[in-house]
Amino acid sequence: MARRTKIYEGKAKILYEGPEPGTIVQYFKDDATAFNAQKKDVIEGKGVLNNRLSEFFMTGLNQIGVPTHFIKRLNMREQLVRQCEIIPLEVIVRNFAAGSMAKRLGIEEGLQLPRPIVEYCYKDDKLGDPLVTEEHIAAFGWASQQDMDDILSLALRVNDFLSGVMMAVGIKLVDFKIEIGRVYDGDFQRLIIADEISPDSCRLWDIETGQKLDKDVFRRDLGSLTDAYTEVARRLGVMPKSSTPISKPTLIN
């Protein structure tokens, strides 16, 4: 069997050359990292769950006319996606104060924001993905003014879609991060949602109990990350019980 060409290996995913030009195979690993990879672990089954959840969200976005890189899921851990040029920004949308924003501004976690707040971080692990303003983005040429208008509109559409989908299953979308890619169609270029949308990149709280169902479970040692992600998948009807990853064989007495 021919070996595939690895294009890039990140913290949670590996990218391989796809079967056709302009495509990429995105492989979801079980590795979990937090605090810029200072905390690391392998969480059995996480990659399988994130592959299915990202497929679910990206498919829904494609169906409502928000373009994404997602083409199709290939197997338990891999999906075929469209190759794009990643804009070096993490686009964060917040509906409730949490995480770095709560800390930076001295706000209590959970405070509902008067309107969604969009933030941009420059993607650079060595610098710890620093928060930047549109001034930095324009001055350093990371994206044009037209790109920024498109990014804002995409981010807010993703926010409305995800908030509604999660609300319907009793989950509050506190915040999330997306990445944006540029694709070329002949003489035209446009922006699409890339990377992944999963509980690794969102904050999801149960509406009734406030229980955290996202990567904060790992960051803050709040219990089993697989259980939290499985609960999100179960509520969304994404992963039927029978296909949930079986972690270890157990002896039956």
Site for ligand UDP, rule CB under 6 A = 90, 92, 98-101, 129, 175-177, 201-203, 215
- Residue 208 to residue 228: CA distance in whole angstroms: 15
Nearest-approach distance from CB 19 to ligand UDP, in angstroms = 29
Within the chain, residue ranges assigned H as helices are 46-63, 99-105, 134-139, 145-167, 216-219, 225-236
CA distances from 232 to 43, 127, 164 (A): 16, 32, 14
- Which is closer to ligand UDP, CB of 92 or CB of 143? 92
Nearest-approach distance from CB 37 to ligand UDP, in angstroms = 10
- Which is closer to ligand UDP, CB of 4 or CB of 220? 220
- Which is closer to ligand UDP, CB of 18 or CB of 225? 225
Q: Please, what sign has the CA dihedral across residues 175, 140, 7, 60?
A: positive
Quote the longest CA-to-CA distance of the chain.
Answer: 67
**Which one, of 44, 62, 65, 42, lies nearest residue 54 by Cα?**
62
Nearest-approach distance from CB 219 to ligand UDP, in angstroms = 7
Strands (DSSP E) contained in the chain are 6-9, 13-17, 23-28, 31-34, 39-42, 70-73, 78-82, 85-86, 89-96, 112-122, 131-132, 171-185, 188-194, 202-206
Nearest-approach distance from CB 80 to ligand UDP, in angstroms = 22
Nearest-approach distance from CB 188 to ligand UDP, in angstroms = 29
- Which is closer to ligand UDP, CB of 24 or CB of 202? 202
- Which is closer to ligand UDP, CB of 84 or CB of 89? 89
- Which is closer to ligand UDP, CB of 18 or CB of 177? 177
- Which is closer to ligand UDP, CB of 25 or CB of 101? 101
Nearest-approach distance from CB 35 to ligand UDP, in angstroms = 7
Residues with Cβ < 8 Å from 246, sequence gap 6 or more? none
Distance from CA of residue 199 to its chain's centroid? 7
Nearest-approach distance from CB 25 to ligand UDP, in angstroms = 22
